[in-house]
Chain A
Amino acid sequence: MSPSILLLLGLGLGLAGWLAARARAWNFRRDIRNEGKGGRLAALPSYHAWYVALWIVLPVLVFAIAWSFLAPQLVTGWVLSDPAAAGLPHFGFERRAILDEAASVALGSAPGVFNPLAEGLVEPYRLAFAKVRWIGIAATLVIGFLGGASAFLRLRPEFTARTRVERTIMTVLLMASLVAILTTLGILVSLVFETIRFFGMVSPLDFLLGTHWGPDPMGNPLNPDPSRYGAIPLFWGTIYIGAIIAMFVAIPLGLMSAIFLTQYASPRWRSVLKPALEILAGVPTVVYGYFAALTVAPAIRDAAQAIGIANASSESGLAAGLVMGVMIIPFVSSMADDSIAAVPQAMRDGSLAMGATTSETIRRVLIPAALPGIVAGVMLAISRAIGETMIVVMAAGAAANLTANPLEAMTTVTFQIVAMLTGEGSFDHPATLSAFALGFVLFLVTLALNFFALRVVKRFREAYE
Chain B
Amino acid sequence: MVTTLPATATMLPESELSDPQSGLIPKMSARSVSVYYGAKQAVDDVSIDIQTKYVTAFIGPSGCGKSTFLRALNRMNDTIPGARVDGEIMLDGEDIYRSGMDVVHLRARVGMVFQKPNPFPKSIYENIAYGPRIHGLAEGKAELDAIVEKSLRRAGLWEEVKDRLADSGTALSGGQQQRLCIARAIAVDPEVILMDEPCSALDPIATAKIEELIDELRGRYAIVIVTHSMQQAARVSQRTAFFHLGKMVEYGKTSDIFTNPREERTKDYITGRYG
Residues of A within 8 A of B (CB): 266-267, 344, 346-357, 360, 364-365, 368-369, 462-465
Contact = CB atoms under 8 A, between A and B. Distances in A.
A356 B74 contact: no
Interface string B102-124: 00111110011010101111100
A463 B120 CA distance: 9
A267 B116 CA distance: 27
Interface string B183-197: 011001000000000
B131 interface: yes
Given A350-B114, A462-B120, A355 B76 contact: no
Contact of B79 (A344, A352, A368): A352
Which among A344, A347, A355, A369 has the greatest number of chain B C-beta atoms within 10 A? A355
Contacts of A353: 74, 76, 107, 111-112, 114, 185
Contacts of A465: 170
Interface in B55-77: 74, 76
A365 B131 contact: no
A344 B120 CA distance: 11
A349 B76 contact: yes
Contact of B130 (A266, A267, A351): A351
B142 interface: no
A354 B131 contact: yes
Contacts of B13: none
A109 B130 CA distance: 75
B38 interface: no
A47 B272 CA distance: 49
Given A349-B79, A364-B130, A464-B170, A355 B135 contact: yes
Contact of A347 (B118, B134, B184): B118
Task: List the 3 closest pairs (A to B, CB-CB), nearest first.
Answer: A462-B121, A355-B108, A346-B118
9 contacts: A266-B81, A347-B118, A350-B118, A353-B107, A353-B114, A354-B130, A354-B184, A355-B134, A464-B120
A355 B105 contact: yes
A267 B121 contact: no
Contacts of A357: 104
A465 B171 CA distance: 9
B37 to A, nearest CB: 15
Contact of A354 (B79, B121, B170, B185): B185
B91 interface: no
Interface residues of B, number: 28
Nearest to A369: B121
Contact of B120 (A266, A351, A360): A351
Given A347-B120, A462-B120, A354 B114 contact: no
B134 to A, nearest CB: 5
A42 B145 CA distance: 65
A369 to B, nearest CB: 5
Nearest to B79: A352
Interface in B74-89: 74, 76, 79, 81
B35 interface: no
Contacts of B184: 350, 354
Nearest to B81: A267
A89 B118 CA distance: 78
Contacts of A368: 121-122
B181 interface: yes
Contacts of B168: 462-463
Contacts of B122: 368, 462
Interface in B147-200: 168, 170, 181, 184-185, 188
Given A347-B120, A464-B170, A354 B111 contact: yes
Given A267-B81, A364-B130, 13 more contacts: A349-B118, A350-B119, A350-B120, A353-B112, A353-B114, A354-B130, A354-B131, A354-B185, A355-B108, A356-B131, A360-B134, A462-B121, A462-B168
A267 B170 CA distance: 32
B106 to A, nearest CB: 8
A275 B118 CA distance: 33
A346 B79 CA distance: 12
Contact of B131 (A349, A355, A462, A463): A355
A350 B183 CA distance: 13
Contacts of B131: 354-356
Nearest to B113: A353
Of the listed residues A350, A353, A365, the one surrounded by the most CB atoms of chain B closer than 10 A to its CB is A353
A47 B24 CA distance: 75
Contacts of A267: 81
Contacts of A266: 81
Contacts of A351: 120, 130
Contacts of A360: 134
Contacts of B105: 355
B226 to A, nearest CB: 14
Nearest to A371: B121
Given A360-B134, A369-B121, A355 B114 contact: no
Given A369-B121, A464-B170, A346 B130 contact: no
- Counting chain A CB atoms within 10 Å of each CB, which of B76, B105, B107, B181 scores highest? B107
A356 B130 CA distance: 9
A364 B122 CA distance: 10
Contacts of A356: 104, 130-131, 134
B269 to A, nearest CB: 28
Nearest to B103: A355
Given A346-B114, A360-B134, A462-B121, A355 B188 contact: yes
A24 B79 CA distance: 62
Given A357-B104, A360-B134, A464-B170, A352 B76 contact: yes
A365 B120 contact: yes
Nearest to B121: A462
Interface in B23-61: none
A139 to B, nearest CB: 58
B80 to A, nearest CB: 10
Given A347-B120, A349-B79, A355 B170 contact: no
Contacts of B104: 355-357
